[in-house]
Amino acid sequence: MNVKLILLEDVEDLGNAGDTVNVASGFARNYLVPKGLAVKVSPAALRQVESRKGKIEEHRKMELGKAQIVAAKIAELELTIPMQAGDDNQLFGSVTSHLIAEEAAKHGVEFESKRVKLEKPIKEIGNYSIEIKLHSELTVSLKLWVVKA
């Protein structure tokens, strides 16, 4: 069963603050409402969102500005991650989004590992272009070299 809600905050892959969305009742009851991300559609909720619209836009612009600063740093960065590998260039482990985020943090560029868009962990020596989605409107490529340790 679906529930109609108004988002109070931007929720990735769902919508922006002020949007009206239909979601599964369990998702609403267990995640969105308890975390204060959404409220049930009502005249009072609509008024609340209208009064916060200016603040929401300001917050969104600020978040995009921060993301653009990080994106500029990522565009200049070339990460090299040494890994143990066999003679066939297959890694003994794998390079995950978490490892990429940790390595970038060592170079002064911080972002959450969930922002790294890897279809599957990297398991081979080589160079890669990794997509990092910093904001709903901003995705940047990171140059990554995986080398033998």
Residues 133 and 75 in one domain: yes
Task: Give the chain's domain count.
Answer: 2
- d(C-alpha 110, C-alpha 102), whole Å: 8
Residues 35 and 90 in one domain: no
Domain housing 112: 71-148
The number of residues making up the chain comes to 149
| DSSP SS3 for 145 | strand
Residues 102 and 131 in one domain: yes
Residues 90 and 121 in one domain: yes
Look at residue 10 in the predicted model and tell me its pLDDT: 84
Q: For tokens 């619209």, what's the residue? A: 53
Whether the predicted model's global pTM rises above the 0.85 cut: no
Look at residue 13 in the predicted model and tell me its pLDDT: 83
Residues 89 and 57 in one domain: no
From 79, 134, 95, select the one nearest 111 (Cα to Cα): 134
CA angle at residue 126 from 121 to 128, to 5 degrees?
Answer: 65
Look at residue 33 in the predicted model and tell me its pLDDT: 92
Q: Which whole-number Å values give the CA distances from 43 to 8, 11, 37, in the listed order?
A: 14, 22, 17
pLDDT in tens, the chain (149 residues): 889 999 988 888 898 888 899 999 999 999 999 999 999 998 888 888 888 888 888 888 898 899 999 999 999 999 999 999 999 999 999 999 999 999 999 999 999 999 999 999 999 999 999 999 998 888 999 999 999 98
- CATH code where residue 94 lies: 3.10.430.100
Residues 81 and 141 in one domain: yes
- CATH code where residue 23 lies: 3.40.5.10
CB 70 within 8 A of CB 79: no
Quote the radius of gyration of the chain (alpha carbons, Å).
20
Query: Which domain-ending residue is among 25, 51, 66?
Result: 66
One-character DSSP codes across 45-74? HHHHHHHHHHHHHHHHHHHHHHHHHHHHHH
Look at residue 71 in the predicted model and tell me its pLDDT: 92
Look at residue 68 in the predicted model and tell me its pLDDT: 93
